[in-house]
Structure 1
Amino acid sequence: MCYLTSKAYVSVVMTNFKKKTFEPNYFCSMFLPICKPSKYTFLDPKADAKQILADKPEFIKNNDFINNLYKEIESDKNRAGRETILAYHISDMHLLLDYKPGTNSDCTGYTCCNEKAGKPKSKSAEAGKWGDYNCDSNPATIDLLKSAVEKTGKPDFILWTGDSNDHGIEFEPEVSTNSTIHITKKLLEMFPDTVIFPIHGNHEYSPMNLHDFSKQSNDVIGLIGNAWSDWLTPEVKSEFIKKSYFSYDSVQHPKSSADFKRKMKNTHIIALNTQNCYSYNFFLDGEFNDAGNQVEWLEDTLREIERNGELAIIIGHIPPGEIDCSNPVSERYRILLDRFQHVIRLNLYGHTHFEEFEVIKSIEGEKAIGVNHITSSFTPHQNQNPSFRVITLDVETKLPIRIETYTMDLAKANQNDANAVFLFDHEFADVYGLKDLSPNSTQQLTMKIRDDEQTAKMYAINKLAHGKGSAEIAANKCNESC
């Protein structure tokens, strides 16, 4: 493991550290105060916010726009009859293509549960038929999604937010993208006529985590973009392969039906490449500005959507505000989420493997203006049960009104094939006693988790999708970690 890690990252770290630190103008500006004037200065978030928020529309200056929309839905006498649209959110599948039941699940390598992991030393270390809490996904579990439709209803569209490869380090793009291509083919088989909007994560890269935004193209993105040709228009595919992120007028999707076009009219999907903020993307150590110009592009894209009176749904892998996303980028995203709070109706991420949420606060007054919804992983790696979410959107506002979690109890599935099914586990608002999914209600939940032990324990268990360790959380007093 140590050799592979060194081979993958040491030269990148050193090269980019030197590239930035010892660039003459940068070194002079940052470390030699006698050099005047400085060519480089640190970004001031306050100045950035002042500039971007200068033309903030009057009708959203109270920072209650989304909360008021939820109130309108609540007060609608025909609330039960409001038209809805159904979406799946799947993330962090982390497919282990050479998974083999009965192999060693307790190894010292990056991946276990395959022939390379050797023979298990005990019965408890044998990889289960359907998966293992210490390993990445058994490819057989993907097929179970098809039967889940009978319980959830057919999705109108699917949002897939990356991390398809296992947790190993690969050095060839053709290898690191194998899982993405495999999953793509499976989804096309199971949902041939369904609209799917995908974006990659950090594990599709070779080596994982590393994206050099200074280059004009990326082999990994090229391979993935070509694999997704059934879901991307030629224009969007070209943008993705060139930039590694994209914006998509949803009704232009090649699989969109007349009903989908009617329901999703004037709604854009913005898919971010969150490697522009990832702490373990060591190429960022050599970046001086906005990596890939993505934040600037996002602002321009949102302004155009605003001018056209349209709406946006943002998807990505790493949530802004998460510890792995650098603070300067997270702060700039927050400013944009404030400025365009009336445009952005849904934010979906993965990466952490846990079912979590982040309340988005306004710059002025720190009022709750939005929510980043983070889904737990499809992979059981890190003790989770495999899971995905089913999101019901209100067609008129494009706001989420129900977020349901479906899980497979891996321990029970390994004991009996009849249990190898995805079943409804909970609905987000119902399980925590929330009035709705508004930013204000979600903000109140943060206080409830802080102050009420039973709510905190419930949240900790749901983070794991009732996986390994849930019984101990339920039985014991909630500690600081809980």
Structure 2
Amino acid sequence: MEKSIFFLAISLLSLSFLREVNSEDDEPTFEDILKHLEEQFASFLGLATYQPMEISKLKAITDELGLTSDLRTQIIQDRIMCGACQSIVRKLQLNALTILAVGTALCTLYISLSTLTISDFCLNLVRINKPILEYILRESRILTPEYACSVLLQNENCYYSSPSLTWRIDMPEWTEYNVTSYMDSFESTKNPLKILHLSDFHISFDYEIGSVSNCGYPVCCKRNLGNPLRSHNAGPWGDYNCDIPPWLFGNTMHYIKSTHKDLDLIYFTGDIIDHTIWKSSKEENSREIEATFQMLFESFPDVPLFSALGNHEAVPLNVFPPSTIRNSEFSQDWLYNVFSKSLSEKLPDQALTNIQKQGYFSILANNRLRIVVLNNNICYNLNWWLLYDTSFLKEQLEFLKLELLAAESQAQYVHIVAHVFPGNRECIEPWEANYNMLITRFAHIIKGQFFGHTHTDGLKVFYSKINGKPNNVGYNGASLTPFVKYNPNYKILYVDPNNFDILDIETYYFNLTEANKYPNRTPRWQLLYSMKEAYNFDRLSPENFDLLAQRLTEDTNLFNEYWRFYVREGDPSLQQGCNTNCRKNLIEEITRTESITYT
């Protein structure tokens, strides 16, 4: 959800310049370029409204980055600002620019566009990330301007092939296993399994009722944050600009426990820590992770819980280094140890050992269902260590392959639990390409993929790399946090107890605006929709979801329904609406599981 300041530094100067330049007569003026850049940057940040800057101020910021003299030429030559991105990386490598200068300049622009007057956000965010970026600039053997911009921008127009992006793991040959007939030999169970899917809590432990909800920071509703003269005070049950108060988390767990008393399993797809990205610490994150799991285990003491790590659990945010980086300042071993310790009473020793390697594990829920939990935050393009190395991604991909081979040989089915939704221009090529190949190879035993991260109720249809037919589905758990513009939710999965097909998914939510009107009453949780009923499916098959994507392009009423579910009837989202470009992007996201189509 967040965009770290250094990524913004590159992205701002690399966003598409959409005006086509067909001839010398059509060349935009430098002022046109700067104003369009400002507009695109505001859109990129999700600023629906922003305060335009004076050209002189905007020009001064680009001057700080040393781009004023050549920015115009780069845009005209490239028609996008890929060249500007490469120029910044090149200047950083030549010490003509510093991390501090880039971060500060872009943060200044962010603050100016948002009409914010905050003092410590930029410097703190730069301070947290600066040592890692300086190390990578100094030590990386793969870092070139072309490679860096291919990773950071995730844009077809700025993609440059390199060995660090194009490697592939060996795929096992197809072997025919009669899994279905083996499973049918088990005695049929009357009732489906019920699995609770939770995602993206983002608990704001220092949430304060009545604090400023439009405070000027990336997330608000905290003690001593923002100008108290501003309106829109933080409500008792949360705010659409903020992460959740801890009492909402406790209330939600109590409600689920008392309402769904027959849960068989729980999948949690990550993100405990809130969006206070400018002042995270290992000590504070550790306390909050341990406290959250304690609450989960106290609420559901007898229900097995399988949890993935979120990108917000790391310090700094998003950063997961290779295991070869032993520098204690950079290592995330502390996180893997805290995660392992928190789950130690629920998982066997082998799973805990795997967690300590890279945050992943596999476990048998029973002798027929294998659950593979991945830490695919390592493939996130905001993970700075991808500018240092990508081969460390192979460890988990090989682990996944071996677990799938084991499941296939033992006539088991598989559910995959992870955090980052593939295909959303966030996970880099080698992970997504290899992951999609594994899904194709083992589609017959993979019965569900469960993700989080986006905070939206989205879907992914996977397609065979052999014949192009739909062969698998990924589901997003959306989020308990309303950040940003959504209503809180959780999901109940109904699963066939014999072949572990997903039979139906129910989404429950409450309206935050209504809840805050009645502070002394607990939120009114209710069923938003049943996936099977809402889309008139006979079953939740890849083929039906593929047809749904086609129907959404033709049926406005159906799309409006999908959009309403996507944002969980969040009042600000419904008020903002979904324009033509929004509609196009949402529909395309359903069928895109690899972020970039390389030509």
For Structure 1 versus Structure 2, the TM-score category normalised by the shorter chain is 0.7 to 0.9
Q: Which residue of 1 aligns with 2:46?
A: none
How far has the Cα of 1:221 moved from its partner? 1.4
Per-residue Cα deviation, 1:203-244 (whole angstroms, up to 9, x for no partner): 001111111123466111111211222222222112211331
Write the mapping of 1:166-205 to structure 2, written as runs, cut at 5 A: 166-169=274-277, 170-205=279-314
Match of 1:266 among 337, 358, 368: 368
Matched, 1:465 2:568: yes
Q: Structure 2 length as normaliser, TM-score? A: 0.68
Q: Which residue of 2 aligns with 1:420?
A: 523
Q: 1:471 to 1:365 in 2, by over 3 A?
A: same
Matched, 1:137 2:255: no
Q: Which residue of 2 aligns with 1:211?
A: 320
Q: Which residue of 1 aligns with 2:546?
A: 443
SS of 1:116's partner is coil
Unaligned runs of at least 5 residues, structure 2: 1-120, 148-161, 327-331, 584-599
Write the mapping of 1:143-292 to structure 2, written as runs, cut at 5 A: 143-144=250-251, 145-169=253-277, 170-214=279-323, 215=325, 218-250=333-365, 264-291=366-393
How far has the Cα of 1:18 moved from its partner? 4.1
Letter of the 2:282 counterpart: P
Distance 1:132 1:320 in 2: 28
Q: Contact 1:434–1:441 (CA<8 Å) still a contact in 2?
A: yes
Write the mapping of 1:218-367 to structure 2, written as runs, cut at 5 A: 218-250=333-365, 264-291=366-393, 293-367=395-469
SS of 2:449's partner is strand
Q: Which moved more, 1:158-167 or 1:412-421?
A: 412-421
Q: Which residue of 1 aligns with 2:175?
A: 57
Q: Contact 2:177–2:411 (CA<8 Å) still a contact in 1?
A: no
Match of 1:481 among 563, 571, 582: 582
Q: Which residue of 2 aligns with 1:107?
A: 215
Q: Which residue of 2 aligns with 1:6?
A: 126
Letter of the 1:466 counterpart: E
Q: Contact 2:166–2:429 (CA<8 Å) still a contact in 1?
A: no
Letter of the 2:486 counterpart: Q
Q: Contact 1:105–1:120 (CA<8 Å) still a contact in 2?
A: no
Is the radius of gyration larger for structure 1 or structure 2?
2
Distance 1:292 1:167 in 2: 29
Distance 1:153 1:445 in 2: 33
Q: Which residue of 2 aligns with 1:31?
A: none
Letter of the 1:147 counterpart: Y
Unaligned runs of at least 5 residues, structure 1: 28-39, 73-78, 251-263
Per-residue Cα deviation, 1:415-437 (whole angstroms, up to 9, x for no partner): 11435132111011211222221
Q: 1:227 to 1:59 in 2, by over 3 A?
A: closer
Distance 2:349 2:524 in 1: 37
Q: Contact 2:480–2:490 (CA<8 Å) still a contact in 1?
A: yes
SS of 1:330's partner is helix
Letter of the 1:135 counterpart: C
CA RMSD, Structure 1 to Structure 2 (Å): 2.7
Q: Contact 2:143–2:387 (CA<8 Å) still a contact in 1?
A: no
Structure number with greater CO (CA < 8 Å, separation at least 6) is 1
Q: Which residue of 2 aligns with 1:410?
A: 512
Distance 1:432 1:469 in 2: 25
Distance 1:193 1:245 in 2: 23
Write the mapping of 1:63-102 to structure 2, written as runs, cut at 5 A: 82-102=190-210
Q: Contact 1:320–1:333 (CA<8 Å) still a contact in 2?
A: no
Per-residue Cα deviation, 1:2-26 (whole angstroms, up to 9, x for no partner): 21221222332342244334689xx
Q: 1:288 to 1:281 in 2, by over 3 A?
A: closer
Identity %: 25
Number of residue equivalences: 435
How far has the Cα of 1:153 moved from its partner? 4.1
How far has the Cα of 1:122 moved from its partner? 4.2
Match of 1:376 among 478, 482, 486: 478
Q: Contact 1:243–1:292 (CA<8 Å) still a contact in 2?
A: no
Letter of the 1:5 counterpart: L
Q: List 4+ stretches of structure 1 deviating above 6 A.
A: none
Distance 1:453 1:22 in 2: 47
Distance 1:58 1:290 in 2: 31
